[in-house]
Amino acid sequence: MPPQPAGGRPTWLESFLVYRKPVVVSLAFLGFSAGLPYLLVFSTLTAWLRDEGVSRSAIGFFAWVGMMYSIKVVWAPFVDRLKLPWLNRTLGRRRSWMLLAQLGIMLALVGMSWVGPAQLTSLAVLALVVAFSSATQDIAIDAYRIEAAPAQDQAALSAAYILGYRSALLVSGAGALYAAEYLGWAEAYQVMALCGGVGLVTTLLIPRPALANDESAPGAKAAPLTWPGLHGLFLAPIADFFVRNGRFAMFLLSFIALYRLSDITMGIMANPFYLDLGYTKLQIANIAKGLGFALSILGSFLGGVLVVRWGVLMTLLIGGVAVALTNLLFALLALTEPNLVWLALIIGADNLSGGIAATSFIAYLSSLTHTAYTATQYALFSSLMTLPGKFTSGFSGIAVDTFGYPLFFVGAGVLGVPAIVMVLYLVHRERTTLLDHR
């Protein structure tokens, strides 16, 4: 970090210069690899299903494929500790798991292109394979990110990661819709599988993480599959979190579970919503994905700067309030005639606020981990972050069919209120702690 001024707070210029560091740049490519599969089993897949005439209720249940990301804590300890034969010697623990997961993603995407909605059960199984492989890749990348740089750079690494992640969402969102329009849905998924090569190349080029615990950190050696070994894999990382945080650990876990509930719940219905309003796939690609991508990148970049400038909690508060309010704007959009200007404004606001919230939240979760259990603890946090939203979003199609889009989006906005209240408490608690130490 550049030297700080006498007051201790970096200038705006110094805050921006953190993005020049090579390790920050490398996280953008890893973010692309992580983000590519997500929409292909989420909103892009729902557009394919709706375009083929699958019911909204059935589409809603496809959201449960995404719960694979929410239960990755179950196998995260193995990714955190176990070494893959040969690959570990060549690439190290983190990169070897990345490579294996990336191969699984690419092969399963090709399989999805072969079966399509005509074989709905097979499509769902292959989507689960993509989600499982993608979640495994996330575990390894999250661990790499946290170990690649010290704590003061984590917000910038998060912003770079989200830049790559959002770029991948543009490719797997707008890019897939363009490909589907001109080539067909099956061909679109094959193109997406080829894009997975970005992750393979990146994994082979990046160095081992600078702060890696491969050999030196407590418990870092491969654990045998005996009871003591299983204790080290599963219970020790969780016990460490509770020992460090005491009774406050339950509040932190509850906050993690609720912060993203609002936007995750409404996300599965976004593309069916646009299609039902009468917008074409190209309009959705241009506005919902193109403009949305640009403003989400701006939001992510701004979120990283705001964390450096004002701290992670104040940025979390800004993001949480903005996300809840933009869900209410979608309710207004559902009551108006199709209008591209209104669509652009509301989608832009949603992606800007989402970028700020996501960047600050990743930085906050990273600060809660212990380096001896990086992958397992972060997987626990990210699982809690998405599990409630993924579960409730499974019923989103039924909710829309029963109550309509306006009430559905109002309900999604209300789901963000508890998290906002909890952030306010965290801000108060932090300020009280600082005053007590003076």
Predicted pLDDT at 8: 57
Instruction: Please state, in angstroms and rounded to a whole number, the distance separating the CA atoms of residues 255 and 123.
Output: 34
The residue with tokens 């690419």 is 106
Given pLDDT bands bounded at 50, 70 and 90, which one contains residue 28? confident
Predicted pLDDT at 216: 35
List Cβ<8 Å contacts ≥24 apart for 348-352: 348/291, 348/292, 348/295, 349/295, 349/322, 350/263, 350/292, 350/323, 350/326, 351/291, 351/292, 351/293, 351/295, 351/296, 351/299, 352/295, 352/296, 352/298, 352/299, 352/302, 352/322
Q: Which tops the pLDDT comparison, 178 or 20?
A: 178
Report the chain's C-alpha Rg in angstroms: 21
Predicted pLDDT at 15: 56
How do residues 203-254 score in pLDDT, each as one tens digit? Answer: 888 877 765 554 433 344 444 545 455 555 667 778 888 888 888 999 999 9
Q: Which domains does the chain have, with CATH numbers?
A: 19-436 (1.20.1250.20)
pTM above 0.75, yes or no: no
Given pLDDT bands bounded at 50, 70 and 90, which one contains residue 2? very low
For the chain, the distance separating the N- and C-terminal CA atoms, rounded to the nearest angstrom, is 26
How do residues 119-132 score in pLDDT, each as one tens digit? Answer: 888 999 999 999 99
Predicted pLDDT at 115: 93
Q: Which two structure tokens, joined as six digits, stand for 438?
A: 């003076």
Of 170, 177, 168, 174, nearest in space to 195 by CA = 168
Predicted pLDDT at 134: 95
Predicted pLDDT at 219: 43
Distances in whole angstroms, Cα of residue 305 to Cα of each of 12, 15, 132, 361, 364: 8, 6, 33, 13, 14
Q: Which amino acid is at 260?
A: R
Predicted pLDDT at 336: 84
- To the nearest 10°, the Cα dihedral for 435, 5, 12, 321? 0
Q: Are 358 and 382 in contact (CB under 8 A)?
A: no
Residue 20 has pLDDT above 80, yes or no: no
Neighbours of 228 (CB within 10 A): 10
Neighbours of 215 (CB within 10 A): 8
Given pLDDT bands bounded at 50, 70 and 90, which one contains residue 13? low
173 CB-near residues (< 8 Å, 6+ apart): 39, 43, 44, 285, 288, 289, 293
Average pLDDT over residues 247-271: 86
Given pLDDT bands bounded at 50, 70 and 90, which one contains residue 3? very low
How would you class 434 by CB atoms within 10 Å of its CB: exposed for 0-12, middle for 13-18, buried for 19 or more?
exposed
Q: Give the angle subtended at the CA of 80 by the CAs of 78 and 81, to the nearest 5°.
A: 70
Q: Which tops the pLDDT comparison, 137 or 238?
A: 137
Predicted pLDDT at 255: 92
Instruction: Please state, in angstroms and rounded to a whole number, the distance separating the CA atoms of residues 202 and 91.
Output: 12
Average pLDDT over residues 249-266: 88
Instruction: Please state, in angstroms and rounded to a whole number, the distance separating the CA atoms of residues 180 and 224.
Output: 47
Neighbours of 300 (CB within 10 A): 30
Residue 153 has pLDDT above 70, yes or no: no
Q: Which two structure tokens, joined as six digits, stand for 182?
A: 């001109």
Instruction: Please state, in angstroms and rounded to a whole number, the distance separating the CA atoms of residues 83 and 79.
Output: 8
Average pLDDT, the chain: 82
Average pLDDT over residues 260-278: 82
Average pLDDT over residues 326-345: 87
